[in-house]
Amino acid sequence: MMRALQLTEPGVLELREVPVPEIGPDELLLRVGAAGICHSDLHVLHLPFQLRAQPLTLGHEVAGTIEAVGAAVEGRSAGERGVVYLCWSCGRCRECASGNENVCLAAGRSAMPPCPGLGPDGGMAEYLRMPADAFVPIGDLDFRQAAPLADAAPTRYSTSSATTRPARSPSPRSRRTAPTG
Ligand SMILES: [Zn+2]
Ligand SMILES: [Zn+2]
């Protein structure tokens, strides 16, 4: 079991004991080193209605250490330190292929791609289950300094160079959800 800060109903946060998530073949289990609080978290907390499935573990600014690696993941190993790239787009659709992953078609035309803590469970917990291709190594950068970069820096990260981005590998997850068009 692990501790997780969860939104259990509109306006209610609880520190709860929940099972450590199990990972799929294309995923990592991250031992969280730091998780930032974003103003979006406060918006979600103060919404008078339920926007996402609840209980929901908040936290989309996350840094930590790889604890376990899915069976199909290559090039990652336990003990690596990194931040969680928060746009969990499919990586396969037309928009993703064009570099417009923020409007990934897999989530539907009017939806945003999955983001930890705003759909899938986030990083305000001891462990986070995440897509392996969302892991960005940080060397020995302090977790508390690195975590907010996961939210504040992706625009620069996306525009800087495709060559600095880890190659996105096809995954059963994306093949299942990506439209063929
Ligand atoms: Zn944010
Ligand atoms: Zn996509």
Q: How far does residue 40's CA lie from ligand 1's centre (Å)?
A: 5
Q: How far does residue 178's CA lie from ligand 1's centre (Å)?
A: 25
In this structure, of 18-22, 68-72, 99-103, the range with the lowest mean pLDDT score is 99-103
Model pLDDT, residue 163? 46
Any idea which ligand is nearest the CA of 181? 2
Is 50 exceeded by the pLDDT of residue 72?
yes
Q: Give the phi and the psi of residue 142 in degrees, each rounded to 5.
A: -60, 135
Q: How far does residue 71's CA lie from ligand 1's centre (Å)?
A: 31
Any idea which ligand is nearest the CA of 91? 2
Q: How far does residue 151's CA lie from ligand 1's centre (Å)?
A: 5
Any idea which ligand is nearest the CA of 112? 2
Torsional class of 41: left (φ above 0), alpha (ψ -120 to 50), beta (otherwise): alpha
How far is Cα 47 from Cα 31, in angstroms, rounded to an integer? 29
Any idea which ligand is nearest the CA of 40? 1
169 DSSP 8-state letter: P
Model pLDDT, residue 173? 43
Are the C-beta atoms of residues 41 and 144 closer than 8 Å to each other? no
Q: How far does residue 125's CA lie from ligand 1's centre (Å)?
A: 17
Strand pairing category for 2-9 and 81-84: unpaired
Is 90 exceeded by the pLDDT of residue 12?
yes
Q: How far does residue 14's CA lie from ligand 2's centre (Å)?
A: 33
Q: Which residue has the higher pLDDT, 156 or 49?
A: 49
Model pLDDT, residue 158? 66
The mean pLDDT value for 61-81 works out to 98
Q: Which residue has the higher pLDDT, 56 or 154?
A: 56
Q: How far does residue 174's CA lie from ligand 1's centre (Å)?
A: 24
Residue whose structure tokens are 């899938």: 120
Q: How far does residue 60's CA lie from ligand 1's centre (Å)?
A: 6
Report the mean per-residue pLDDT for the chain. Answer: 86
